[in-house]
Structure 1
């Protein structure tokens, strides 16, 4: 095992929650150093974005089945819709004198470590260059003005780039060492949120998988220490191409075009004080991504299945009403039709959001603890999203599991054990009632050997988990239910229950869907409600 793989494995083991000891974290929350949830670049020209999402006619059910509307022009108005329905504010909550914003992209603890950027040529209403999206004000901050023909040529076939970065401190303030994992989950949610919003505008999305982290940092201006000073650093995550998949620009070509760009603005400091978490720095170094080749072996396409959810909602409505449930009622049930429909949308189709963003083969498979699905026996199930993974999953788990094919022919769903697992679900999810009170809970099993061979893909495994979570969030809303992601779980309790004894497969994210209790703290649901 190489040095980077060993550092990755050490972080993974040290950041696990265990029944008798949680992963290292702060002893208590220091409210005086609570991070500002909004990064601002002071001194940048600002471009106000119109709240134009209500002009969008796209229906969620059409997008989820791969039926995209005709592509709209790239302009200030359409990019405003893209950011509003992916990274924008969706509602406000208040409790006593406290008030805080919710966003279309979910986040662990509502701490939002993910920042969004736009790289574009000159468009109607918008100059070419690099922009930072400030969700609080729904504006683009013009970080870099680019006057280089190579920049224009790179976008000559149409399209824009969306960059995502993370501020680790935002999560570490509350969650300590394990925060790095949550930053990756949130990045995955954001990737999916951008993919769905782009599809609603008729645009395809692709993750620029070849780009090196150093190139991303330069393109987004994150390597400009003079612009950050004492402000918390941002680390590059991913670059998303929104446009013709065959016309994706080369990141290095864009990087060269930034040679003489005029950068403006200085990052705000988010906290007055900080606690150091060396393990986060260590895993960040271990998973640093070099330039790589384009993936060439996508997973087989599943057969198309067009079952419809219970509610036919516009995409704008479903994106803005998505919430993380804080508790479930413990009585709500869903139908098998609703359950099978949700599971079908977790299967990869390359023309359909959010999976159109990925080129790499499927690496994550949900292990489901089903509690309240009418017509489906309570018990343990696995959705095998890539048929090629079935032998490895069987070999890694208990030999006594049934592996009985269940449900419609198109759905690779297997029953392992018929049993009431509500108490088990609660135990695994750090003793949280929400896992037992749900209609079903699940853990996301990742092919961990991928990360041990290519450490930078450890991040990608978490991203794929976050994308699965975002798909389930929207599917739950369309079914008249609600969902929530669970980052606090006992990793090895899940593995022991399944019979996993080595690192071939690891559970990286947990999730639940059920009937939500009403959250009385919701005070407004408009983008710029004051």
Structure 2
């Protein structure tokens, strides 16, 4: 890889980390259990504030998240910041098998490895001091990383909201997945972004990605550039920062970072593994895809869409978010109705002011291709949902000439779903997804096709944004599956170019970057499920 051409390096990373039927991307080959990373990052000797477990008190209905103006804004205080974190980055359950236990979280992750770390940056709030805080999901607590000088911090920080920062520890994924892990970390960041947006919506708060911030500024804000605080601990790469609060508030790094001048920093990061494997492909990809310069991030105005069809369940948002699980097997029998399927597609379309798509500033660049197996009233086959009109002709020109591009009977007119071919595609879906049964035994599988070449030409850090957008799509499907009484799971293992061959894609103008599947799940009855915070004194089953 050339150190002088980050665009070429980004493309080279994507190419070398493709799985193929005759060989997989560079990986460890076996799992080194001695070096399995600690799933929880801690900052030793940092002051700690235990957060209340308060999500059970939130009565927001899941469907109200999609109804603009329905949920009144909650106060911005320690209790509601705690709910924001509990429903986005907090634990959702513990699983136990033969004496071994592991935690699940509200934000999904490849292999349940959780590379994403969360931070809160806030002014003085009722019950919580102002500063930079690291969220420790294990104990639902905040660790104080930076204690800024007063009164400049509180006087200069935007009123009425908080900043939520995300970072990635690439080693957590690389331990299991090797060179391809950088992709998965970006998927997980997208899931986490959407999880924060949904949790904010449940509190009646807005949330938007501050895409104009560069990575150096984000690292400075969160203290990720403080080498002495990390020592020999694993590096955290800056991902993103969101403003959570009133929509009309402007938040710039030029206004926030000077407020940290003279701040007192606390804590040293724990080391997650005794030893590590160096993956030069990840190092090169991270360097190539850095956002090095700040800049404007003008917001795209989405088209007006009719209101979403209501879900059948009146489940509370907090309960649905915490019950979300990644399916490990599907029954090969369960179907969903066409109306449920159309509702799922509708939530994948951007709407102004409606989560999670109002969080992102850019027009859609990722478009799902569906392998339909068991959707009542619809023929099995290959379908595509074009999420932005400008993509229709370029994608159609890039695909096979023989595809039909037919309108789908019964599909609402505003949902741009097209049938490419009526086929039994169970074998194709299973092959493409590294021969995994879950792609064929589901109601449908999804391959997410990204506007790749033009995005990387625009800026190599768009590589990350494409994966984030795919992760947001996945998070929507996760919650919609739960609302429909089925289950879903992300699929990071897929044969990239086999998908391209099936669709007829000839070059890198379009690339598949994430796969997904939804269906009737099969529970593993060998596992015991425990409440998320029952291990804490006074934690009980709340939260």
Structure-2-length-normalised TM-score: 0.96
CA distance in 1, matches of 2:430, 2:457: 30
Q: Is the 8 A contact 1:75 1:126 kept in 2?
A: yes
Taking structure 1 as reference, are residues 53 and 521 closer, same or farther at Cα in structure 2, changes over 3 Å only?
A: farther
Whether 1:520 aligns to 2:525 is: yes
Structure 2 unaligned regions, length at least 5: 536-543
Aligned to 1:99: 101
| CA displacement 1:384-408 (0-9 Å, x = unmatched) | 1111110111011011111112211
Taking structure 1 as reference, are residues 112 and 416 closer, same or farther at Cα in structure 2, changes over 3 Å only?
A: same
Pick the aligned partner of 1:454 from 459, 471, 494: 459
Pick the aligned partner of 2:225 from 218, 223, 226: 223
Aligned to 2:441: 437
Structure 1 unaligned regions, length at least 5: none
Mapping of residues 114-129 of structure 1, within 5 Å = 114-129=116-131
| CA displacement 1:300-352 (0-9 Å, x = unmatched) | 32412321223221001001000000000000000000000000000001311
Aligned to 2:270: 268
Aligned to 2:477: 472
CA distance in 2, matches of 1:124, 1:78: 10
CA distance in 2, matches of 1:64, 1:110: 28
CA distance in 1, matches of 2:311, 2:527: 26
Aligned to 1:35: 37
Mapping of residues 357-368 of structure 1, within 5 Å = 357-368=359-370
Taking structure 1 as reference, are residues 417 and 172 closer, same or farther at Cα in structure 2, changes over 3 Å only?
A: same
Whether 1:62 aligns to 2:46 is: no
**What displacement does 1:73 show?**
1.0
Q: Is the 8 A contact 1:86 1:190 kept in 2?
A: yes
CA distance in 2, matches of 1:131, 1:94: 30
**What displacement does 1:256 show?**
1.2
Q: Is the 8 A contact 1:299 1:386 kept in 2?
A: no
Q: Is the 8 A contact 2:157 2:256 kept in 1?
A: no
Matched residue SS, 2:420:
strand
**What displacement does 1:28 show?**
0.8
Q: Is the 8 A contact 1:91 1:522 kept in 2?
A: no
Mapping of residues 152-167 of structure 1, within 5 Å = 152-167=154-169
Taking structure 1 as reference, are residues 487 and 26 closer, same or farther at Cα in structure 2, changes over 3 Å only?
A: same
| CA displacement 1:51-93 (0-9 Å, x = unmatched) | 0000101011110343541111110000000000000000011
CA distance in 1, matches of 2:456, 2:152: 35
Q: Is the 8 A contact 1:494 1:507 kept in 2?
A: yes
Mapping of residues 324-335 of structure 1, within 5 Å = 324-335=326-337
Taking structure 1 as reference, are residues 382 and 67 closer, same or farther at Cα in structure 2, changes over 3 Å only?
A: farther
Q: Is the 8 A contact 1:379 1:415 kept in 2?
A: yes
**What displacement does 1:255 show?**
1.2
Mapping of residues 28-427 of structure 1, within 5 Å = 28-296=30-298, 298=300, 300-406=302-408, 407-427=411-431
CA distance in 1, matches of 2:289, 2:222: 19
Q: Is the 8 A contact 1:300 1:386 kept in 2?
A: no
Q: Is the 8 A contact 2:301 2:352 kept in 1?
A: no
Q: Is the 8 A contact 1:299 1:362 kept in 2?
A: no
Aligned to 2:24: 22
CA distance in 1, matches of 2:301, 2:504: 26
CA distance in 2, matches of 1:521, 1:165: 34
Taking structure 1 as reference, are residues 492 and 505 closer, same or farther at Cα in structure 2, changes over 3 Å only?
A: same
CA distance in 2, matches of 1:260, 1:332: 59
| CA displacement 1:160-197 (0-9 Å, x = unmatched) | 00000000000000000000000000000000000000
**What displacement does 1:297 show?**
5.7
Structure-1-length-normalised TM-score: 0.98
CA distance in 2, matches of 1:149, 1:210: 27
Q: Is the 8 A contact 1:143 1:263 kept in 2?
A: yes
CA distance in 2, matches of 1:212, 1:462: 18
Q: Is the 8 A contact 1:302 1:410 kept in 2?
A: no
Q: Is the 8 A contact 2:148 2:261 kept in 1?
A: no
Pick the aligned partner of 1:509 from 498, 514, 518: 514
CA distance in 2, matches of 1:154, 1:524: 45
Over aligned residue pairs, what C-alpha RMSD do you find?
Answer: 1.3
